[in-house]
Amino acid sequence: MRPLSLRARLALWYAGVLLAILVVMSALSYSFLRWSLLQQVDASLASVAQIVRETDERGAGDSEVERAIRELLGPGFSDRYYQFLDPEGRSRFRSGPPPMALPLTPEARANATQGRRTFETLEDARGGPVRLLTVPVLREGRRVEIIQVSAPLARLRDALAGYLTTLLGLVPVAVALAAVGGFVVTGRALRPVRDMSRAARQITAEDLGRRLARRGAEDEIDHLADTLNTMLAGLEAAFAQARRFSADAAHELRTPLTALKGEIEVALRAGRSPEEYRGVLRSSLEEVEHLIRAAEDLLLFSRSSAAIGLPRDRVDLEPIVLQALEAGARRAHGTGVTVRAEDIEPVTVLGEGGALRRAVLNLVDNAVKYTPAGGKVSLSLLVRDGRGLIIVQDTGIGIDPADRARIFDPFVRLDAARSRDTGGVGLGLALVRSIVAAHGGTVDVESTSGAGSRFTIRLPLA
């Protein structure tokens, strides 16, 4: 079954809560009304008993007692019936034919013996419920008589039944009205959300610069707008970066392709000797090799940028650093640069060994590339402040302070001519940064122009 809409659920909750409140309030008010009506009846019974007793003590007759009751309490109390009983419970005299045989229950008799009065409710099969008060009359501490006064509870019962009927009729109406009202109110309350989702739906990849309007109420709706706007800003930046990246990548690929095209066109313009053709093919091959390297770098970079779900294996960094050392030494062979290890400690991190190897290799490769003959490249692997550090230091040409931050951006080559020679497209450090970031680490550089650079990768330990 399809889940109910938020609006319907809120309206139902609202009606449900109201129903619970009304049921509790109705039960309480019904009990209170019943209690207070009974209190009134009991009070009138006590008054009648008092009058009956006092009038009787004056030795007045039956009719005089009734007249006194009527005078004192009004005609509304003419349905009160009373009788005198002797201590054994035999009727001495009474106000008229009893509505029912008034019993002297054992409990009332026991109370009377102790001088206490008793209120009881009796069920009369014909006339409905009756309230009965039994009062002992004591003279000189002795129980001489018992007065019983009764009143029918039919009116009280009818009043309560009427009240109950009203409640049973009104509560469902109130709950139904609350449900409809709740539906209307939540509809109004949710309108800004609907407006916002309509506005958000109209924002496409082409106009990510648009933002959702805030109402200025600083409420949940405004917070939602802020959240979506922050997300849009992030998406806009990411899209812009992706566009810039493809433009730069296309440019990187176009330059060698144009050179290749030019060389081939020149070669085709006239007949050439086999030696000349071979020369053209050789330089074409160089361009093609450069293109292949560029394409490989691009592929690697886009893979590492998307490496959000990198496997999380335990990786021992020592063999990786030693392999990079070997590769660096091979690369430096014949250039007059020495590559050596400094402090090597065992370090284990969580991540992907292949990607980390690639990052260290790139740093060592650059260090060898940008260090002139006679220079030194050294590698260290340490644990400092609870993090694993890989340090690649060289005594090479160094990097200008102004360029230090941007060398990690894609396609940045400070020494373009030299880099072209050595084959990079300016993605090496961008790749290092993206691999290290995917491992929750950082990479930074310290450098003195002309005196060397020191690249440090910091990774969280496993």
Contact footprint for ligand ADP (CB under 6 A): 362, 366-367, 370, 394, 396-399, 407, 412-415, 419, 424-430, 453
Backbone φ and ψ for 423, nearest 5 degrees, come out as: 100, -10
Q: CA-CA distance, 13 to 294, in Å (whole number)?
A: 62
CB of 217 to ligand ADP, least distance (A): 48
Cβ proximity to ligand ADP: between 170 and 247 the closer is: 247
In angstroms, the Cα distances linking 307 to 77, 245, 356, 382 are 94, 17, 12, 26
In the bound complex, which residue of the shown chain has the CB atom lying closest to ligand ADP? 424
Task: Tell me the closest approach of the beta carbon of residue 366 to ligand ADP, in angstroms.
Answer: 3
Nearest to residue 432, comparing CAs of 408, 451, 411, 452?
408
| d(C-alpha 121, C-alpha 107), whole Å | 13
Shortest Å, Cβ 413 to ligand ADP? 4
Tell me how far apart the terminal alpha carbons of the chain are, to the nearest angstrom: 47
Nearer to ligand ADP, 391 or 429 (CB): 429
Strands 313-316 and 348-351: antiparallel
At its nearest, how many Å lie between ligand ADP and the CB of residue 388?
21
Closer Cβ to ligand ADP, 397 or 435, answer by number: 397
Q: Smaller CB distance to ligand ADP: residue 48 or 407? A: 407
Nearer to ligand ADP among residue 196 and residue 397 (C-beta): 397
Q: Kindly state the tokens that stand for 263.
A: 């060389």
Going by the DSSP 8-state scheme, the letter that residue 413 receives in this structure is -
Q: Do the Cβ atoms of 457 and 433 come closer than 8 Å?
A: no
Other CB atoms closer than 10 Å to residue 52's CB: what's the count?
A: 24
* Closer to ligand ADP by Cβ: residue 65 or 412: 412
- Shortest spacing between CB 450 and ligand ADP, in angstroms: 10
CB count in 10 Å sphere of residue 328: 26
